[in-house]
A = this chain, B = another copy of it.
Amino acid sequence: MQDIYQHIEDHIDEHIETLFRLVSQPSVSAQRLGFDKAPGLVKEIFESVGLETEIVPVPNDGLPSVYGHMAGERTDRTLLFYTHYDVQPTDPIELWESDPFRPERRGDRIYGRGISDDKGNIIARIAAMKAFNEVRGGLPCNLKFFAEGEEESGSPNLPGLIAQRGQDFSADACIWEGGGRNASNTPFIYLGLKGLLNVELSISRLSGDAHSSLATVLPSAAWRLLNALKTIKGDDDRVLIEGFYDDITPLSESEDAAITALPDETEELRRIHGVSDFVNEVEGEALRRKLYLTPTANIAGLTSGYQGAGFKTVLPAAASAKMDFRLVPEMRPLDVLEKLRKHLDRHGFSDIEINMIAGVIPYRTAMDAPWVKLVAETAEEIYGLKPEITPNMAGTGPMHDFGHGIGMPIATSGVDHPAHNIHAPNENITIDDFLLGAKQAALIIQRFAERGAE
């Protein structure tokens, strides 16, 4: 494989240039920003390495996916790379040290929105393909490359697309986005993702904002929302929605052991996020179990009234909160939505409107699949350390649609590192992260062509 690795290293400037081009093109799915040009640019990049590519419309006028495929020497073995080309919003923009859509290098890091999640992964895999094409004259197996356009918005139309065209994307095995190294630089692989229910809770109590001197007698939307939210979570961080935890399934023995075997991330998380104490003062294994295995009720945004400089003596007519509930197997977003509605009604808050924004079903690939072993071996070879395997990550993605919907084993490799500030200001990646991710992608292609996933 040295020839392939050497090609990737020799062409690093070209790869970073391509990555900068892709990051420079905004593609914020939450705001539908940049999608006049972004799918075309992804298609152009896919075609530059020989992928036969189409921009795939998704149901409900959603933001398109981009799908490419290319035959290789072993035509009976097909590998699917799942990625997404959409990115998170840049807000709070004032905390960025450089324009999120004008990538730049500072020290050994390059910065920009999506430069790690997930445009970095796209280009690392493209770099691996390019190396096979140019050094070996082609791929050793069939390859499919799926880049979604709505992952950061909860993949609302992916289940519909899979129902329509799932077989087009079917493969023997799948590499997901989002592997890489953890806080202690050990490679990690994960086999599952949490689900998600994202909602906006809102209430309007007046026909318009009123002068705050009337706050003695006119109802307050802000206090009302706050009182409703307060019923959702207890001081012990336990979600108080009736039946919220009912459908959680226990881990298998090997999954449980894998969680126990993971390294302690406590100090690293402390350092990166500048905190002294964690929720419920968890540390070590307890922190890990809470992080990976419990659902959340997070407030992602709170809005009411005047938020500018100085003050405005206003009684706001309306208030709203954006919440995301991360779900673990086998919780279901629509079921949690129904339970949330019942909970608010039961507590007298039937006037709080719930608007569901996104729902994603949680998923885990079985830990003993041969595909997991193959990917783990490539990680050890590239990074020189046995990988940590996590049954499911704290994050979310539409794995369920591919793993359960189409039916294939899924594991991860990638360019990730907890210091990348994904979804946050100053998202970044190092050249090293990129090179290691590209090399592992190449090795996975090679090993899969040799051994298959069975």
A230-B226, A314-B423 known; A30-B309 Cβ under 8 A: yes
Contacts of A315 in B (CB 8 A): 298, 300
**A55 touches B (CB below 8 Å):** no
Closest-by-CB residue of B relative to A88 is B312
- Report whether over half of chain A's contact residues are helix, strand or loop; otherwise say mixed: mixed
Contacts of A89 in B (CB 8 A): 306, 308, 310, 312
Please state the number of chain copies in the assembly: 2
A207-B273, A217-B279 known; A300-B326 Cβ under 8 A: no
Q: Is the CB of B298 within 8 A of A215?
A: yes
**A185 touches B (CB below 8 Å):** no
Q: Is the CB of A314 within 8 A of B424?
A: yes
Q: What class of interface size applies to chain A in its complex with B? A: 35 or more
Chain A residues packing against B (C-beta within 8 Å): 29-31, 88-89, 91-92, 95, 152-154, 194, 196, 198, 200, 205-220, 222-223, 226-227, 229-230, 233, 235, 269, 272-275, 277-279, 282, 287, 290-291, 294, 296, 298-316, 319, 322, 324, 326, 357-358, 393-396, 421-425
Q: Which 6 residue pairs are nearest across A and B when measured between Cβ atoms?
A: A207-B274, A30-B310, A215-B298, A213-B394, A222-B299, A301-B305
Known contacts A215-B298, A217-B269, A217-B291; 14 further A-B pairs (Cβ under 8 A): A89-B310, A92-B209, A153-B311, A206-B273, A207-B273, A211-B395, A211-B423, A212-B324, A230-B230, A299-B305, A302-B319, A303-B307, A313-B324, A314-B423
